[in-house]
Amino acid sequence: MHRDCWKKNNIDPECLKKREEEAQKRLEEEKRQEIIRREKFLREEEQRRREEIQRDILQKEQIQRELIQKEQIRREIIKKENKEKTTRGSAPTRERRRQAQLALMAVTNKVRKQMNVNA
């Protein structure tokens, strides 16, 4: 470029055209760079959103697994408590049955002895 064209106030049309073309190229390059920066920003934002969504999904899945695990533990505890209640309830019943059978056997033995004595 001819710098002296401007210094002397002697503007050469070719020089002016060249300067305008260069200015236009700089402007287009700046626009292109701005578009690239925007696209990069948008891609990064989209990636951040995806990662956030993925974290949320993983967190929800973890919470769901924990809830299921807690529910299973609760059910096991209830099952054990019911089993203990049944066992505790059954033990006296079994004991009463055993006592009744022993009493019946004792009575039966007494009756047999009586019958043997009377016979």
The pLDDT tens digits of the residues spanning 36-80 come to 999 999 999 999 999 999 999 999 999 999 999 999 999 999 998
Q: What is the pTM of this model?
A: 0.48
The pLDDT tens digits of the residues spanning 84-100 come to 777 665 666 777 788 88
Least confident of 16-25, 32-41, 61-70, 110-119: 110-119
| DSSP state string for 37-49 | HHHHHHHHHHHHH
Rounded CA Rg of the chain: 49
Backbone angles phi, psi at 5, to 5 degrees: -60, -40
Token couple for 41: 């920003």
Question: Distance of CA 68 to CAs 15, 17, 78, 84, Å?
Answer: 78, 75, 15, 24
